[in-house]
Amino acid sequence: MHEQMPAGVTITEIVEETPSIRTFVFDREIAARPGQFVMVWVPGVDEIPMGLSSPSSITVQKVGDATTALFAKNAGDRIGIRGPYGNGFAVSGRTLAIGGGVGTSPLLPLVEAGQVDTFLLGARTASELLFAERIRRAAALMIATDDGTAGHHGFVTELVSRVDLADFEHVCVCGPEVMMAAVLAILDREGCAERGQFSINRYMKCGVGLCGSCCTDPHGLRVCRDGPVFSGDVLLESEFGRYARDASGSRHRV
């Protein structure tokens, strides 16, 4: 796939995963490492970065103009895909994965490749738990819901105390940034921040490292090229968990 030009793909299936999340399956497989992302072009609306939930699918929560337009699509409609971009997760040995909400999506290829031993899965409520049964088939699964309708009553970060971090060479995390920052604080407190791999989301225009819109403070690391997966020790002194920037470059709290 050409790095600069989106390839037209046809949506072949739309799966309602939860009341707010859908998977869009398309008619082309993309050779990507778990955790890499693609730029998704919704004609006439916008182009946005999205993680792959499989070589031929993206899993989407309706949160803005582009995702709202995606939710209006039907099987047979066309969108554009370019990529994959970024570094993805790099694991060997025993791996703990922690996913919150739609952030579980980029972790699923890692699970289905047999590279996750234990998965901590969180959601607001039971009906919003994403890919729980698919994860359970491949890894030991622990669940937390904010309202207590399934698993532990509380945040997914509270499950970290129920595992022995010393058992894992890697801790791969994706979800709301507040949740990920809480996980990083735990790893830092336990002296193993460098074992964490965090997939972060930032506003992007090009996706290929040219425009600078996804640069992070204070080191200028580009999410599209240097990420989207960053080691926890790199993030400790960064903007991570504190603020991000919008299309104008203005800061806003995450």
Distances (CA, A) of 143 to 40, 101, 136: 30, 12, 10
Instruction: Report which DSSP code applies to 68.
Output: H
Task: For residue 121, give the nearest of 137, 146, 101 by alpha carbon.
Answer: 101
Amino acid type, 26 = F
Helix, strand or coil, per DSSP, at residue 74:
coil
The reply to whether 206 sits in an annotated binding site is: yes
Task: For residue 48, give the nearest of 39, 58, 35, 37 by alpha carbon.
Answer: 39
Please name the residue ranges forming H helices in 83-131: 108-112
Specify which residues 25 forms β-bridges with: 13, 57
**200 — alpha (psi -120 to 50), left (phi > 0) or beta?**
beta
- Binding-site residues for [2Fe-2S] cluster, please? 206, 211, 214, 224
Cite the annotated binding site by residue number.
206, 211, 214, 224
